[in-house]
Structure 1
Amino acid sequence: MSATTLEDPLNSHHPAAVLFDMDGTLVDSEKLWDIALQELAREYGGDLSVEARQSIIGTAMAESMRILHDDLGQPERDPAISAAWINARILELFRTGLPWRPGAFELLRAVRAAQIPTALVTSSPRALVEIALDTLGRDSFDTVVAGDEVVAAKPHPEPYLTAARRLGVPIERCVAIEDSPTGVASALASGAAVLAVPAEVALASTVGVHQVQSLTGVDLDLLAALLADRAAA
């Protein structure tokens, strides 16, 4: 798919691309992460606190393991060993199936039908993304930016900037869809218009971020309006 399609005046109101987060935004996978993280915490003789679990949402694996270790009072543990344990367990859990978040499938299908370029921009590593794509559809995205394929993970803007660069579109003409504070911060810092749909963690009201309770009913007109509202601001 060529981004030049969007230069047609009839499509000029559309975003240049739509950049989707994965966990908690498109698929309801955070509950599977809950299982794996709590199992590891108990393996280490403790329980992961609610506060630590919420802090982990949307973070890269190394940071997640640091939070888990600190929460358990075991900062000396090797994050690489813990990450390997989590990756092996979450791979098993992902293979059991991933339910779509409300409205996510319909929105993704509408964006693809309009021939708008799409990217999957996730903190999850490529091995997990490959399994998730069995649910999401391997032809649903023009590019995928996995968490282990960038130098700086969310909340740094690099993942979203990388997606826009690969698609050959200006980030300022993109809409990013996120569910977590970490992801929203990454998307906002990149310069994209941001649509936030909270899942496991409540999101504070933030200037420049449009928040909805669900992707149900979100359509191309709303995505276009996000860009128009920012241009008029």
Structure 2
Amino acid sequence: MAARCLGAGRIGGVRLPKEAPLSSPHPAAVLFDMDGTLVDSEKLWDVALQELAAVYGGALSEAARQAIIGTSMADAMRIVHDDLGQPQRDPQASADWISARILDLFRTGLRWRPGALALLRAVRAAGIPTALVTSSGRPLVEVALDTLGRDSFDAVVCGDEVGEAKPHPEPYLTAAKLLGVPVERCVAIEDSPTGVASALAAGAAVLAVPAEVPLPPTDGVHQVESLTTADLELLAALLDR
């Protein structure tokens, strides 16, 4: 697996002030999910998925759309085909169609989730290592990094660069390994049940910020309505629980 490690120091072209690393009570690293957590991209996926369903002569049900959130591309296409009653369709052909369409949408319509940019900036300014841990594939992530900032993360783990996707713990274990930190000293920030399950299974502390799918109360998971209420003190407190 070959996740790309990126430098630190800028977010969106703005150089951040250098500060001394925080003391041990603070996270060894903060691991950010992308879709629905940092950027409001799930609505763009809605557009692409419904367009694909229309190409196939149908409409995607709300239940199927909810089930897709946080899954790998291969699993998403299987859900789409089954929901449309067309399980014989080629998952790779559908994935290629979706990938091309979502790339266009990402180039023109990607927006930050409330509070996400401010929290990312605070973490980077404090000298805490960061990783982007996403189910999206590398080509899409490369487009998203134009918005997120290519120097915003010390490591990037994409869904097509791991053997097992979320909810398997491999993505988060891989991120901690790339950063050279113990995963149990990391805080993962997620929005979906699939992502939360992955982070918990890896052993990270989890901050959940539901976007498109409600999250049930879960042991070991702290929920906030928006990242506008999250700060460094909250992230540190999660490790003491």
TM-score above 0.5, yes or no: yes
Is 1:164 matched with 2:176? yes
Give 1:97 shift: 3.2
**Runs of 4+ in structure 1 over 4 Å off:** none
Is 1:219 matched with 2:193? no
Which of 65, 68, 71 is residue 53 of structure 1 equivalent to?
65
The amino acid that maps onto 2:120 is L
**2:122 corresponding residue in structure 1:** 110
**2:87 corresponding residue in structure 1:** 75
The amino acid that maps onto 2:239 is L
| 5+ residue gaps, structure 1 | none
RMSD of Structure 2 on Structure 1 (CA): 1.3
The amino acid that maps onto 1:45 is G
Identity %: 79
**1:195 corresponding residue in structure 2:** 207
CA contact (8 A) 1:97 1:135 kept: no
Is 1:87 matched with 2:99? yes
Where do residues 166-181 of structure 1 align in structure 2 (5 Å cutoff)? Answer: 166-181=178-193
The amino acid that maps onto 2:178 is R
The amino acid that maps onto 1:160 is Y
Q: TM-score, normalised by structure 1?
A: 0.94
* Higher helix fraction (1 or 2): 1
Per the alignment, in what secondary structure is the counterpart of residue 23 of structure 1?
coil
Per the alignment, in what secondary structure is the counterpart of residue 206 of structure 2?
strand
Where do residues 15-30 of structure 1 align in structure 2 (5 Å cutoff)? Answer: 15-30=27-42
Which of 158, 168, 186 is residue 198 of structure 2 equivalent to?
186
The amino acid that maps onto 1:191 is G
**1:144 corresponding residue in structure 2:** 156
- 1:150-202 Cα distance to aligned partner (Å, 9 max, x none): 01000000000000000000000000000000000000000000000000000
**1:123 corresponding residue in structure 2:** 135
**1:228 corresponding residue in structure 2:** 240
Give 1:217 shift: 2.2
**1:209 corresponding residue in structure 2:** 221
| 5+ residue gaps, structure 2 | 1-6, 9-19
The amino acid that maps onto 1:202 is P
Q: TM-score, normalised by structure 2?
A: 0.91
Give 1:71 shift: 0.2
Is 1:153 matched with 2:165? yes
